[in-house]
Amino acid sequence: MMNIYKVLVLMIILVLIKLLSYGQSGLLKAGENIAVVPTKYGKVRGYIDEGIFAFKGIPYAKADRFMPPQAPKKWDDVRQCTIFGPQAMQAKAQSWQGQSDENLGFQFNVEPMDEKECFVLNVWSQGINDGRKRPVWVWIHGGGFAGGSANQLSCFDGRSMASKGDIVVVSVNHRLNLPGYLDLRGLGGKYSESVNLGMQDLVVALQWVKDNIANFGGDPNTVTINGQSGGGGKVCTLLAMPSVVGLFQRAIIQSGSLEFEMTSENSKKYGLAVAAVLGVTPGNTDKLNDFTYDELMEAGEVAANILGSEGSSIMGRYCPTVDGKYVTQNPLDKTIPEFSKNVSVLLGSNLNEFTYPNRAIITPKTMDEVRSRLVKLYGDEGAEEFIALYSEVFPDDKQPHQMLTFDGRLRGAAIIQATSRSEQGNAPVYTYLFSWQSPVNDGSLGAAHGMELPFMFNNIALQRPLTGGGKDAYELADKISSAWISFVKTGDPNCKELPKWQAFKLDSGATMIFDNKCEVVYNHDKKLIGFMNSYSLQLFGSR
């Protein structure tokens, strides 16, 4: 009888402990003396979210319009940093695009914009002021080089990764579009350094991390930079900037391997054309401060039309250019820079990438319908060859329309970049292909551009409209986020959740497939990518 009594007492105690633990879940602490950290510029105060210290909207720089970034002004009082700072100036359409199937999955946060106050970053960490040296993961948002923010999507919240991996997560805002990439070197004088300003912002942000992250529990000598889409392009660009030496040791590029579309000559020409539209000359450059953001952007469009009518290429006018000082070469050049040869790299793309703006392409349900579309791209013989190659790569694919959404552009660019780095670099490079198919909107999104974001952030619950939030999504997120954490910590993505993942070599072409079944394949789509390249077609742009 006594033993039964003891068992009951023990069970009651266990239940009470469980109930108390439930009461603690979701606990958030904030107050005058909670989560206070010194930086070079003054103390900042954040809050504690389920045991994770969170700081939002920390200033890392300041800058006048079209001028290089400078150190922020110091402050004396403790600065409250508990909400995200404003995003960079951008067209309204970048954050709000109306109702569409695409926006069901990618529900962008609509945020305030500010030209002078957008130089902010955010930090999540398990410990502060504790002398620990946690690896640091710096997230650089996408949106091309024209839009987006560190808080653009809910899944960008860094608490989950800081909690799971005991790493310090940093995300950053920076100048975009015309304020961030207009090249005004042609005006001379104080504008002689006004080029690649958005990239200069990121370098200053990384310098802030180097100088301050130790107080947030991070190791300034173990830093990984990571970006997707335009953010991946920014990571590529940073790998071609000599000023980053010592600021990071690892890099992750997601669907962002790129080649600059704007030459340095055309970049200067476009900058001077914009100045001319505004009536600005080397003798009255202060006039640049008299215009609103909308007036500047309108001048940018007018200048582009003028140059276009004269036959000048203005493609990619709001993106980096090889200026010879800040950016010294194109990211996809066959020879990689000496100063970044020791950077370990993880890179890849998604199977379907650009499905969401082209939902109409999934309407064909029969092989005959798909073949007729392929014939328009490749001709009769080419269409049959493409079908044969695709069927060889994906023998279990029972959805004919997937042939029309397969992305060869970013996958091919990733392989080019991986090949150069594996042959010339002193550090390993790993490649992946994300092929998990979202069930949302009748499966129309597939493994779309950005679909992997809630997976590697381990934030499926925060982006269920994109993934559906099913059990398989949570299971895959655990695997992918574990690989990301392992890479951030060691420069190697291998982890117990995945099969052995070999570094990429041209002859073997090892690529990790992220799907319900994760597996490593070897040059599995080499012939298919080669076929698509031989036609010099980018399927997305050809539809």
CA atoms of 423 and 333, how far apart (whole Å): 13
Residue 263 CB-density burial (10 A; 0-12 exposed, 13-18 middle, 19+ buried)? middle
Residue that the structure tokens 């899944």 belong to: 155
pLDDT of residue 11: 55
Residue range(s) in the chain whose domain bears CATH number 3.40.50.1820 = 29-262+323-340, 348-542
What is the token pair recorded at 427? 């550090």
Among 318, 422, 406, 416, which Cα is nearest to 361's?
Answer: 406
SS3 138: strand
229 tagged catalytic: yes
- Per-residue pLDDT at 96: 52
User: Per-block average pLDDT, block size 10, for the chain (543 residues)?
Assistant: 55 46 66 97 97 98 98 97 97 59 76 96 97 97 96 97 98 98 97 98 98 98 98 97 97 94 92 98 96 97 93 85 96 93 98 72 74 91 94 87 88 95 95 95 86 98 94 98 98 98 96 98 95 64 31
pTM, full prediction: 0.92
Token pair 């198919």 is at which residue? 437
The architecture CATH gives domain 348-542: 3-Layer(aba) Sandwich (3.40)
The correct answer on CATH 3.40.50.1820 for the domain covering 29-262+323-340 is yes
218, exposed or middle or buried, with CB in 10 Å at 0-12, 13-18, 19+? buried
What pLDDT score does 19 carry?
38
Token pair recorded at residue 267: 């970049």
**Exactly one of 149, 194, 229, 243 is catalytic; which is it?**
229
Residue 494 is predicted with a pLDDT of 98
pLDDT on residue 104? 73
